[in-house]
């Protein structure tokens, strides 16, 4: 049953838009493919109307706000109703809301920012959109054989989120290798999800927050993962937060780490929901050889490393910036260039576009004290270059 959640909805050929290579269409298609795919975490499927509306937005016929309004009006005016209309309306409206969030770069890393994402996703769907729950919850999970993860107490929600976000904000990635970095990110996301601050929609909110946070760190997220494996993502979060000493079951991060390795490093680890079932039948168990190591090869036999770059100018600039915050002039001196335009076109702009360098004041590009520093992705590359 759970394995079927990984099957893509085939109304729209997102890959066709992505292969066409037109940047704006590609960006919109990737946003929609994630938005639609994430509905599987609650067993929801979008309607054909939503798919057609998404196509019109991807092709530039309508804006994302017009698409959202069309979906809203569709259900207001709909006269013939089917048994699954309520589920489809939730899936359609949430998909269009998530697509809008993913088509914008704005991101606020804070408790209020997390609540704002939930509100933006479930606007017009849940009356409690954007509000923390004021009651305790438990949820029966298939992967736990109907047991539940222990979620955060409602009285402690804001304080717990603030603590987790602040710990992550202060965390130093520079001393980590790729394996340690991926494991740390998996632990952070798992801990944030375990708080479960909202009555409903926590996994979809966590997924959108994670995508936008990883982008802010400089990573290019593999959108195909959230489209095809959203149900696996949820079950992996469950297993990362469940332990039952009486039954001899410990929290298991491996499944979530495998997801993040595919997401960030381009690996091709096999992701199967049945491997995560507690006390699985013998034929459902993960092979011991896969349990023994987090480091897997792709189908080509080579480990892919998305932290590396073939652009020698980016490598040079990363080495120059290192652990410092530098002005444009300081960076130009470091790479040995006097022409500002050449430096911007050959070094700085590509480094920013590929997620290795960021602005100290991103919301004020012309800030009089503007400096540039490495993103987490850039820090990881710098660490590798120093080893």
pLDDT digits (tens, 9 = 90+) for 319-360: 999 888 999 999 999 999 989 999 999 999 999 988 899 998
Q: Going by CATH, does the domain composed of 312-386 fall within 1.10.10.10?
A: yes
Domain ranges across the chain: 1-104, 124-306, 312-386
Q: Cα–Cα distance between 40 and 108 in angstroms, integer?
A: 26
Q: What is the CA radius of gyration of the chain?
A: 22
pLDDT digits (tens, 9 = 90+) for 54-89: 999 999 999 999 999 999 999 999 877 676 788 999
- Predicted structure pTM score: 0.80
Torsion angle in degrees (nearest 10) through CA of 329, 333, 337, 343: -40
The CATH number fitting domain 124-306, selected from 3.40.50, 1.10.3290, 2.40.10, 1.10.10: 1.10.3290
23 — pLDDT class (breaks 50, 70, 90): confident
Closest CA to 225 of 259, 254, 256: 259
Is residue 15's pLDDT more than 90? no
Is residue 123's pLDDT more than 70? yes
């Amino acid at each position: 049953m759970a394995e079927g959640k990984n099957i893509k909805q085939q109304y729209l050929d997102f890959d066709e838009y992505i292969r066409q290579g037109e940047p704006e269409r590609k960006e919109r298609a990737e946003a929609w493919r994630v938005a639609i795919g994430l509905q599987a975490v609650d067993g929801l499927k979008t309607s054909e109307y939503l798919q057609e509306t998404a196509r019109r937005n991807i092709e530039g016929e309508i804006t994302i706000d017009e698409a959202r309004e069309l979906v809203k009006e569709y259900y207001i005016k709909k006269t013939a109703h089917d048994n699954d209309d309520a589920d489809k309306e939730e899936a359609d409206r949430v998909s269009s809301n998530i697509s809008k969030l993913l088509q914008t770069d704005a991101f606020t890393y804070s408790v209020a920012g997390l609540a704002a994402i939930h509100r933006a996703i479930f606007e017009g769907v849940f009356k409690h959109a954007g509000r923390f729950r004021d009651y305790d919850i438990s949820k029966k999970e298939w992967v736990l054989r109907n047991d539940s993860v222990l979620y955060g107490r409602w009285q402690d929600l804001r304080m717990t989120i603030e603590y987790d976000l602040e710990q992550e904000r202060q965390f130093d990635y520079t001393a980590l290798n790729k394996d340690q970095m991926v494991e740390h990110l998996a632990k952070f996301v798992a801990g944030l999800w375990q708080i479960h601050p909202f009555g409903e929609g926590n996994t979809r909110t966590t997924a959108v927050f994670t995508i936008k946070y990883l982008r802010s760190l400089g990573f290019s997220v593999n959108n195909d993962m959230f489209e095809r494996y959203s149900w696996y993502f949820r079950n992996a979060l469950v297993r990362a937060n469940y332990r039952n000493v009486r039954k001899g079951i410990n929290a298991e991060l491996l499944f979530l780490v495998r997801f993040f390795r595919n997401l960030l490093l381009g690996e091709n680890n096999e992701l199967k929901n049945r491997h995560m079932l507690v006390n699985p039948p013998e034929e459902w168990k993960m092979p011991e050889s896969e349990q023994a190591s987090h480091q897997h090869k792709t189908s080509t036999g080579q480990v892919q490393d998305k932290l590396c770059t073939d652009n020698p100018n980016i490598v040079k600039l990363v080495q120059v910036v290192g652990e410092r915050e530098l002005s444009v002039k300081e960076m130009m001196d470091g790479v040995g260039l006097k022409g500002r335009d050449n430096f911007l076109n050959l070094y700085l702009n590509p480094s920013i576009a590929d997620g290795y360098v960021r602005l100290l004041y991103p919301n004020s590009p012309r800030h009089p004290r503007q400096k540039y520093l490495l993103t987490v992705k850039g820090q990881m590359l710098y660490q590798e270059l120093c080893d």
